[in-house]
Amino acid sequence: MISPQNDKQWEARGTYNPTVVQKGKVTHMFYRALGRPDALMTPAGISSIGKALSLDGEHYQNRRQFIIPTEPWEKYGCEDPRVTFFEGKYYIFYTALGGMPFGPGNIKVAVAVSKDLETIEEKHLVTPFNAKAMALFPERVNGKITVILTAHTDEPPARIAIAQCDKMEELWDLGFWERWHSELGEHIINPLRFDHDHVEVGAAPLKTKDGWLLFYSYIQNYFGGGDRVFGIEALLLDNKDPRLIRGKTKGPIMVPQEIYEKYGIVPDIVFPTGAILHKNNRVDLYYGGADTVCAKASLNLPDLLSALIPERRVELCERVKNNPILSPTKEHSWESRAVFNAATVELGKDVHILYRAMGEDNTSVMGWAKSKDGIKITGRGQEPAYVPREDFEMKRNQPNGNSGCEDPRITKIGDTLYMTYTAYNGVDATRVALTSISTKDFLAKKWDKWSKPVLTTPDKVNDKDTCLLSEKVDGKYMLLHRIDPQLCADFLDTLDFDKSRLTRCIEIMGPRPGCWDSQKIGIAGPPIKTKKGWLLIYHGVSKTTTYRLGAVLLDPKNPSVVLSRSVDAILEPIEEYERVGIVRNAVFSCGSVLRGDTLFIYYGGADTVLCVAKVSLKKLLKILLPENLQ
């Protein structure tokens, strides 16, 4: 929304960590402006607080310096403003840097007061101790002026705390803070999951009927133990006693993903500093990207509250009652150990299921089954529907090592069914093969009619999780695949892979650090076309090697562009048949079928059994792209 301008020395290096307030039809944005290096002051440059105006909340102009370091306690910079309109005046709390080198003794909170947002009538040093990120509640809480702050941010452990007083002047009274600090333990809010993490107050709290909504910065592994992950999380605080936490997100709702969040003065940072709640329940969250630019993200308040409040938090997908719908059978040696990870296609009135099966020698083949209602199995093959045939999928390692044809995906184009699958010989890198069969032969179960499989991916490149889109994009076939850890695409003139294999990995999305899909991701079944875009169910793996399912909405015209991605998983291993098996704690899907408003998601449980979960398409799309965010 705002980027540095080289022709203005005071904001030439960085413009970030914005806060906003609406005055009439105008949105006023205040932000940290980092100037060019100053050899006489600090090589890092001096920060001041800039101001910009917008009529639509998107495009800002009239940029100027608003708070300039003039007092001894802010001589080396004014940073990270938080603005609140309160009882007729605007209070802008900010971080004041009073000395060099920067440290706990000279990093404190200050405030600027304005009646009209045009001039500053007074400034005060607020905290006598190390603190940052103070924000004023927009109204009194039980008759008290209330602020939230991060105390001792630079001499950890940092503590988010509440302070209350009767008169505004008490907030810059030394005696008030001495009394408050002597009882610091009574005022603390602690959202930390681990002691080596770090937290800092984000935006000024927003009042909702369920409580005070607080966005804050949560930094994983800040004090060691792994890579630092800057994320944005949310708390719901009690309306009457904001020291009480009524709900919180399970993890980050945002981590650095976009270019402007990953690259800048300090890479891989999203840092929340402002928020506005609109009448249509849209929450605009303002944040700094990579300590360089001002950015904004939007959320749907009811969805966020459902994630925050434990009583409302329900798993989006509903498991069918007779899960698992398919289990291994000792009657067939080829599927005696596991049946899982199925491709699905609806033909006529039946759902056809092509599932991965393994016997005791761990050779993967594909079995066939069908269902009229999508749940109860009404037919099941006695012999495999597809078996390894080519050198690249025939077992070359130990007799009981893994090999074969794994994890099929089926796409119907015209009267042909195209099946992609992971081909593995137990020695070389996993690759993806493509085969096809006519719908007529498939329905007749003429399994010998499968075309000769061809490799789609280059040799010595570990590639898997592949499917074809059911429609061409600008006259080209679109193929989704995964080269760890990225989910990517290639656009092809032809499906003749004998002449040329995949040559591109156009990145669509990747793992999100610090989230449930932080280790790796991959598609589930082929995307499904909807009015809002292409719906893609995908799997994500956490650093604890737990497999979960999420959802993504891809652009209807260019499906290589992500419109929306679920913050939380839509299905995770909870039941015993998902937690205990060949691969523990895994739900893994390769296919889904849409019937009316119900999406049937077929998934493997613990790489051992085949299961089904249902979800309302309308509900899922409403969460992915609410009307108030469009």
Q: Give pLDDT tens digits for 559-604.
A: 999 999 999 999 999 999 999 999 999 999 999 999 999 999 999 9
* 295/3 Cα distance (integer angstroms): 9
Q: CA dihedral defined by 360, 361, 364, 369, rounded to 10 degrees?
A: -30
146-172 pLDDT tens trace:
999 999 988 777 789 999 999 999 999
Residue whose entry in the numeric block shows the structure tokens 């306690």: 73
387-to-336, 371, 398, 412 alpha-carbon distances in Å: 15, 22, 19, 21
**313 close to 331: Cβ distance less than 8 angstroms:** no
Residue range 318-629, CATH number: 2.115.10.20
- At residue 504 the predicted structure's pLDDT band, cuts being 50, 70 and 90, is confident
Mean pLDDT computed over 374-392? 97
Q: In sequence order, what DSSP letters do the residues of 298-344 get, joined into one string?
A: EEEHHHHHHHHSGGG---SSEE-TT--SB---TTSGGGSSEEEEEEE
Using a 10 angstrom Cβ sphere, with 0-12 exposed, 13-18 middle and 19 or more buried, the burial of residue 181 is: middle
481-496 pLDDT tens trace:
999 888 999 999 999 9
Burial 128-143 (b: 16+ CB within 10 A, else e): bbbbbbbbbbbeebee
Q: Is the pLDDT of residue 449 over 90?
A: yes
Weakest-pLDDT range from 79-83, 302-306, 584-588: 302-306
Tokens read off for 104: 């706990």
pLDDT of residue 493: 92
82-95 pLDDT tens trace:
999 999 999 999 99
- At residue 177 the predicted structure's pLDDT band, cuts being 50, 70 and 90, is very high
pLDDT of residue 45: 85
**528 close to 592: Cβ distance less than 8 angstroms:** yes
Q: Is the pLDDT of residue 424 over 80?
A: yes
Mean pLDDT computed over 295-312? 92
pTM of the model: 0.91
Helices (H) and strands (E) in the chain, counts: 6, 41
Q: Parallel, antiparallel, or unpaired: how do β-strands 198-201 and 211-220 relate?
A: antiparallel
CATH code 2.115.10.20 region(s) in the chain: 9-312, 318-629
pLDDT of residue 511: 95
* 496/436 Cα distance (integer angstroms): 12
- At residue 285 the predicted structure's pLDDT band, cuts being 50, 70 and 90, is very high
State the chain's maximal CA–CA distance in angstroms: 87
* 180/215 Cα distance (integer angstroms): 24
pLDDT of residue 314: 78
Mean pLDDT computed over 293-301? 95
228-261 pLDDT tens trace:
999 999 999 999 999 999 999 999 999 999 999 9
Q: Is the pLDDT of residue 41 over 90?
A: no
pLDDT of residue 97: 95
Q: Is the pLDDT of residue 556 over 80?
A: yes
Q: Is the pLDDT of residue 330 over 90?
A: yes
pLDDT of residue 98: 93
- DSSP for residue 397: S
Q: Is the pLDDT of residue 202 over 90?
A: yes
515-533 pLDDT tens trace:
999 999 999 999 999 999 9
Q: Is the pLDDT of residue 225 over 80?
A: no
Q: What percent of the chain has pLDDT over 70?
A: 100
pLDDT of residue 490: 94
Residue whose entry in the numeric block shows the structure tokens 């737990």: 546
Q: Is the pLDDT of residue 43 over 80?
A: no
Q: Is the pLDDT of residue 273 over 90?
A: yes
Residue whose entry in the numeric block shows the structure tokens 């997100």: 249
Q: CA dihedral defined by 299, 300, 303, 309, rounded to 10 degrees?
A: 70
**421 close to 408: Cβ distance less than 8 angstroms:** yes
- At residue 302 the predicted structure's pLDDT band, cuts being 50, 70 and 90, is very high
Mean pLDDT computed over 308-337? 93
Q: Is the pLDDT of residue 613 over 90?
A: yes
Tokens read off for 38: 């100053």
pLDDT of residue 227: 87
Q: Looking at domain 9-312, what is its CATH homologous superfamily?
A: Glycosyl hydrolase domain; family 43 (2.115.10.20)
Q: Is the pLDDT of residue 198 over 80?
A: yes
Q: CA dihedral defined by 103, 106, 108, 110, rounded to 10 degrees?
A: -150
- At residue 100 the predicted structure's pLDDT band, cuts being 50, 70 and 90, is confident
Q: Give the chain's mean pLDDT.
A: 94
Q: Is the pLDDT of residue 630 over 80?
A: no
Q: Which of 73, 114, 76 is nearest to 92 (CA)?
A: 114
